[in-house]
């Protein structure tokens, strides 16, 4: 075993060869890309056909199903954020610190589409990929929400924190983990 220091926190990690780490990173990137594309396709179709209020219901039901369908071959796939909409997506310590680092990197001028992080913690490979707020996202996550949208958010997510975003802000991140063989 080795100790891994990441952003001021000490974690126990299993040793991973560089080639294995790169392979896991590539696989995680692919899974996060599939999750993002699938979510955007479902939301875009729903918004265009039925409007943003209906799309929120679709997102409420479909996002966990899509993440679940990608959680295979040992991967657990999901989303998280500093300002969550669904309490099931609350970040753990590493995710919270990584999201804060992502915010700093984006504010420093790094392209939000390229912001990612990966590590090994307690025998798990961990990966996160930033989700920048797109134009479509501000309909339900922006500063100025239409009343029907705000009402639907309150209905589906009474403790919602995920509003007030502008295009380009860090909305959250795709988060993936896979237990490693010792």
Work out the angle at residue 62's Cα, subtended by the Cα atoms of residues 177 and 141, and round it to the nearest 5 degrees.
Answer: 85
Helix axes 52-70, 18-50, angle to 10 degrees: 150
> What is the distance in angstroms between the CA of the first residue and the CA of the last residue of the chain?
9
For residue 158, the surrounding DSSP H or E stretch is none
**Total Cβ atoms within 10 A of residue 149:** 20
Task: Kindly report the backbone phi and psi dihedral angles of residue 122, in degrees, each rounded to the nearest multiple of 5, phi listed first.
Answer: 45, 45
The beta strands (E) that lie in the chain are given as 2-6, 9-13, 75-80, 116-121, 124-132, 170-179
Strand-pair category, 124-132 with 75-80: unpaired
Per-residue pLDDT tens digits for 113-140 = 999 999 999 999 999 999 999 999 999 9
Is residue 43 predicted with pLDDT exceeding 70? yes
Whether the CB-CB separation of 67 and 52 falls below 8 Å is answered with no
Average pLDDT rounded to a whole number, residues 36-65: 90
Place 182 in a pLDDT band, splitting at 50, 70 and 90: low
pTM for this prediction: 0.86
Residues of the chain by 3-state class (helix, strand, coil), percent to 5: 50, 25, 25
Is residue 171 predicted with pLDDT exceeding 80? yes
**Total Cβ atoms within 10 A of residue 32:** 23
Who contacts 120 (Cβ-Cβ below 8 Å, separation ≥6)?
Answer: 4, 13, 14, 16, 21, 126, 180
Q: Quick one: pLDDT at residue 15?
A: 55
Average pLDDT rounded to a whole number, residues 93-109: 97
Strand-pair category, 75-80 with 116-121: unpaired
Average pLDDT rounded to a whole number, residues 19-33: 93
Per-residue pLDDT tens digits for 4-13 = 434 444 444 4
Q: Quick one: pLDDT at residue 74?
A: 94
Place 59 in a pLDDT band, splitting at 50, 70 and 90: confident
């Amino acid at each position: 075993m080795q100790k891994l220091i990441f952003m001021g926190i000490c974690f126990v990690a299993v040793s991973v060869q560089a080639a294995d780490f790169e392979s896991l990173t590539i696989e995680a990137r692919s899974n996060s890309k599939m999750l993002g594309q699938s979510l955007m396709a479902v939301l875009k179709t729903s918004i265009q056909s039925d409007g943003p209020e209906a799309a929120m219901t679709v997102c409420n039901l479909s996002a966990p199903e899509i993440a679940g369908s990608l959680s295979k071959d040992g991967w657990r796939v999901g989303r998280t954020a500093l300002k969550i909409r669904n309490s099931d997506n609350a970040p753990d310590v590493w995710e919270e610190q990584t999201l804060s680092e992502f915010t700093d990197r984006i504010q420093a001028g790094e392209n939000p589409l390229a912001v990612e992080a990966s590590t090994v913690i307690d025998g798990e490979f961990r990966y996160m990929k930033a989700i920048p707020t797109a134009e479509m996202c501000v309909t339900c996550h922006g500063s100025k929400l239409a009343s029907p949208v705000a009402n639907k958010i309150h209905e589906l997510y009474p403790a919602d924190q995920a509003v007030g975003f502008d295009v380009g802000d860090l909305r959250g991140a795709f988060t993936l983990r896979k237990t490693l063989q010792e």
